[in-house]
Every structure is written in C-alpha cells, then in structure tokens.
Structure 1
Amino acid sequence: MELDNHAKRSMMARVVVITHEHDKFLGKRDSFLRMTSPYLLFDILSELKRRGHSIRVQQGVSHSHAADIAVLHVDATVTPEVYVDYASRFPFCLNVEAADISKRRVSGALLKKDDGWQGPVIVKSNLNNRGIPEAFLNRQSERAGKPRPFPDVSTLEAYDIYEAVGDIPDDVFDRDDLVVEKFIPEIEPDGFAARFWVFCGDHERCFRYVSPNRLVKASETIRREPVTVPQELRALRQELGFDYGKFDFVVHEGRAVLLDANNTPGRPRKLAKTFAAGASHLADGFEALIRQSR
C-alpha cells in the first residue's frame, strides 16, 4: 500500500495558471459558497485538484517558475509579450505558441474587397469577443492606478450582416480593427448551425449546434448532435499552437472553415452544468499532457 501511495504522489503535478494581473479568473462564490469562474478551465482544474494535483493561479508575472506545468491563460486577443516570455520559462506551458487569436490570424472565411464573393458577408471585430476582454482589463488597470494595457482598443457593437459586399460601408475594408468574412452558417430547415470543438491535449468533444438565430451561440440553441472533427482542423490546431481551447467552425461546400479560435474558452452560465459534466474527460487530457511533459 505504501508503494501505491508513493506512486500516486509521484504522479501529482504542480500546476500554475498564468493570468493577466487584472484578470478575474475566479469569480464570486455561488449560493452554496463555492468559488465560481467564467472560464471552462476552472472546471478542469477543479477536477485535477480533486485528483490530488496542486493548483495555483498566478496573476501577472513573477520571478518564480516553481511548477511542473503551466497554462498561459491571459484573456486577450494578443497576449502581451511579457507574459509569453514568462510562460516560456516554465518546463512545459500550454498554449505558449497560441498567443495571437485575432481573426486575421485564425479565420478561414476572411474576404478582401476584390475577392469577388457573391454571397452574404459579416463584419466583425478583429479582436476576440469584440474587444470586451481588453476593455475590461483597461478598466481594472485604471482602477488600480496603472496604465491601460491595451490603450488603442475600443469595444465594438454587435456584428453586422450584409447581403452582399457592395452593401458594406466604404471604409470598412480600410479599418485595422474590422474584418469582413463570408457569412456561411450551415442552413437547416429549423435554423442555422455551427460546430464547436473543445479540446485539451488528445481529449475532446465536438458538437454541431442548431439555433433559430443567424449567429449561432451554444447557449441559444434548439438542439445539438456530436460530430467528428475534420482532419484539416486538427492540422490547423497544430499550426496555430493550441494545446487547449475551443474552435468554432462550419462545413461549407464540403470543407471545414474555422471561424474563431479561443485559448481562454468560457463556460456559458446556461450551460454551466453541461460543461462541468465534461470536465473529467478534459482533465484526463490534461493529465496526459503532464505525463508527456515528463
């Protein structure tokens, strides 16, 4: 029995999660006085802690690199270089190569003005989630009496859909903060569909969600079904450097098209129980990464 316990202890890892110094990875306690979080990673870490791993959230950079494995989890479209440098000094760090999730880097539906696309289009922020995470960090920094970390970022309104490229305002293609994409949801008799692939190491789940809304969100759907992950997306995940995260994509004319990649995926409040239920499977993937790092 002592040998078994020793073997178990030898498998336990010290895990550190690197967040922005003004991020709120941990939220308020719920009605049962349990700590909550808006992030999917929280559920995975809770399961890892239950299994005996040591978990620490590091807000901002430090001089210490005392951990077996780290996760770079800065909720911003482009992770500041100081965080990437800090994360790179750990023995192994998840997502250190996935520090830029801007639409111009990850989207497979981007359009240029002279591409000749004849279908509907959507105008989006080049930033993840319309720049809301950066705006939050700016406010938190100002409240702490520090400079805004993203001084040039402004939050954009909801995405606009146009029936043709010619309907777009003239200056859109000239703006650095906006991108134009083909609007290509999967059309269903009862709505529109998109696919969401969540992964951690070699463990994953991928579902196709159908919504009555043209912009498909997992929290506003009428049904869902499991689907396989196209091989071209697996290759793209490797190219973009993702160890953990979420890809939003569609299958258009037989080809998988990545629309969004997120290295700090959230856990929608309406689906919190569903996401938490899948945390054990993703935690298995995390433990496989721990073994790989050793």
Structure 2
Amino acid sequence: MKSKRLVVLLDDNKRFGNFRYVLSLLIASWEQQGWRILFCDDFGMLPEAELALLHVNRTVIPESIVDNCLARYQIVINHGALDISKRVVSRQLLLPDSQDGGPVIVKTDANCGGRRERYEHEVFGPLLKIKDRLLPWTMAARLAGGCYPIYRNVAEVPEDVWKNPALVVERLCCERVGELFALRQWVFFGNEEMHRISYSPEALLKSHNIIRSEMLSEVPPFLRQRREELGFDYGKFDYVMFEGEAILLDANRTPTYGMNIGPEVRDIAGRLAWGISFFHAQASN
C-alpha cells in the first residue's frame, strides 16, 4: 500500500532538530499511523505529498512562500497564520496617551523576544547582536533573556520605548488563583486539542517556574474566534482570565515543550496527532 506523505516546510532543515518542537512528538505518532514524513526548506524544490505543514519559525512569513506552497499542494496546514506579531495578536496594546491606569509590560513586537529574525544572518547577525548589547535596552531591537520590563502605569514607561518600533507596551493582565499566578494554554491540531492551566508563584510563568498543572474542559469562545481570525490550523495560545474575560497573551504556530517530558506529554501529543485525519479528509474530497 502506498504511504501517505506529509511534507514539513521549514525555514532551516538543519536547525529543526536543535529545538524541542511539539511537532517532533507528533511526527513520531504520524509515522506509527503510516505517514511518510518529508522535510523541505527549499521552497523552489517542493516534493510531492498529500499534505503540507508550514512550520516556519518566523514572526512574519512572506506571502510569496505561501503562494508557492498553495500552488503545489491542495492542503497547506497553517497557510493562513502568516503574522503572529504582537501588533496583530494582542488587543491589550497601549499608546503614550492611553488612559489605562494599571500596570503595563514592555514586550518585543516580534515573537520570542525578537531574537529569531534579528540574528539569523550568519554575517550581519553577530554584528547586530553586539550592537544591541551596546545600546540601552529601550533602543535595542530585542529584550535579553526573556526579561519583560514592568511599570506601574503608562506614564512611567521610558520615552525611548515609544519611539522604538521593535517594542510594544501592553496592559499587564495577570490571573491569580489564591496566592499563585495562573496561565492557561490551548494547544490544537485540526479538530484535536489540549487545554490546561498551570500555576506558579511568579507572575511571568515559564516552564521552569511552574509548580503544577491541571487539565481544563471548555475553551472560551473568544479564543476559538481569534483562532479563526488569525488563520491557525495548528498552534498554541497562551491566555489568562482577567476581569471576567479571556485575554490572549501569545499565539505560537511552532510551539515547543519543556525540559522534562513524561508519559503525560507524550500521551497528549499522541492525541493531538490524530488531528491529521481532519486535513487528510479535506485533501481526499
């Protein structure tokens, strides 16, 4: 029987194995389901396949790349999620004259602290890194070490931040459960999904400071609406419940997993992987 083929479209084939991508866990399940997985980072030499998955780790994917893929494949997973910059994803952005009186946080407009696109060029990348280290953080194009400055209000934000197009200022929305902070995550692939809440004593939750997690049931309708608006077929949404509303903090189409991977994570990935049937059915029609 002829193998079903899925081509994973990458920005850099050699770098793919250097990250703990959730996709690598899905691939293991797909291969058990009888899929043959192909990898391609040359968008001018696209192989034959029943399905294609766009897994380009960039904040903005050029439309020319997507157009080329859509001309080659009937189904290109995540072809609609071209821009995941904060200015597109967030509805909590503020301006210098905003009247919001609460605490605010400074982030990069680009995903992952602005590092990926900023330093990827093998010649100019190291020079830009040196430049950013020498500049005051308010004038640089990235925030080092994932540190996001927090201020009591808009008036305290340094003037240079507002002049820096690489930075954005966002209303700080934290969810509290007792004495702990909470972060909710919705991971989805096609019609399969995982929904959980994690707790930490620290306001900015990261994999290293989470003390426990629990599974959740219903996903807020607002998030499903935003998923459709942002064009996501596969990805992870980080959000909080704040003042009775679901607040989307981050939308990621190339999610990763933490250092400690156990049976629960592999089980979740195995269930998510069955979402490929949703796309395969579309390609078969």
Contact in 1 for aligned 2:235/2:252 (Cα 8 Å)? yes
Residues 23/177 of structure 1: CA separation in 2 closer, same or farther (3 Å cut): farther
Question: Aligned AA for 1:240?
Answer: L
Separation of aligned partners in 2, 1:185 and 1:134:
28
Residues 128/16 of structure 1: CA separation in 2 closer, same or farther (3 Å cut): same
Deviates more, 1:127-136 or 1:278-287: 127-136
Contact in 2 for aligned 1:77/1:128 (Cα 8 Å)? yes
Give the corresponding residue for 1:5: none
Please state whether the residue corresponding to 2:28 is helix, strand or coil. helix
Unaligned runs of 5+ in 2: 133-139
Residues 292/232 of structure 1: CA separation in 2 closer, same or farther (3 Å cut): same
Tell me by how many angstroms 1:82 deviates: 3.7
Cα distance per residue 1:227-277 (max 9 Å; x no partner): 221011101101110000000111111111111100111122224654323
1:209 aligns with 2:198: yes
Residues 226/61 of structure 1: CA separation in 2 closer, same or farther (3 Å cut): same
- Within a 5 Å distance, the mapping from 1:31-50 to structure 2 comes to 37-50=19-32
Contact in 1 for aligned 2:103/2:150 (Cα 8 Å)? yes
Cα distance per residue 1:93-116 (max 9 Å; x no partner): 011110110000001221122221
Tell me by how many angstroms 1:87 deviates: 2.2
Give the corresponding residue for 1:72: 54
- Within a 5 Å distance, the mapping from 1:12-161 to structure 2 comes to 12-21=3-12, 24-27=15-18, 37-89=19-71, 90-135=73-118, 137-139=120-122, 154-157=141-144, 158-161=147-150
Q: TM-score, normalised by structure 2?
A: 0.87
Please state whether the residue corresponding to 1:195 is helix, strand or coil. strand
Residues 191/162 of structure 1: CA separation in 2 closer, same or farther (3 Å cut): same
Percent identity between the two aligned chains:
37
Aligned residues: 269
Separation of aligned partners in 2, 1:141 and 1:85:
28
Which residue, out of 264, 269, 272, partners 1:282? Answer: 272
Tell me by how many angstroms 1:64 deviates: 3.0
Q: TM-score, normalised by structure 1?
A: 0.84
Separation of aligned partners in 1, 2:253 and 2:226:
14
1:251 aligns with 2:236: no
Cα distance per residue 1:49-100 (max 9 Å; x no partner): 1111110111231333411110111101111334222322211001111011
Unaligned runs of 5+ in 1: 1-8, 28-36
Please state whether the residue corresponding to 1:113 is helix, strand or coil. coil
Which residue, out of 191, 201, 205, partners 2:180? Answer: 191
Question: Aligned AA for 1:137?
Answer: E
Which residue, out of 211, 223, 237, partners 2:227? Answer: 237
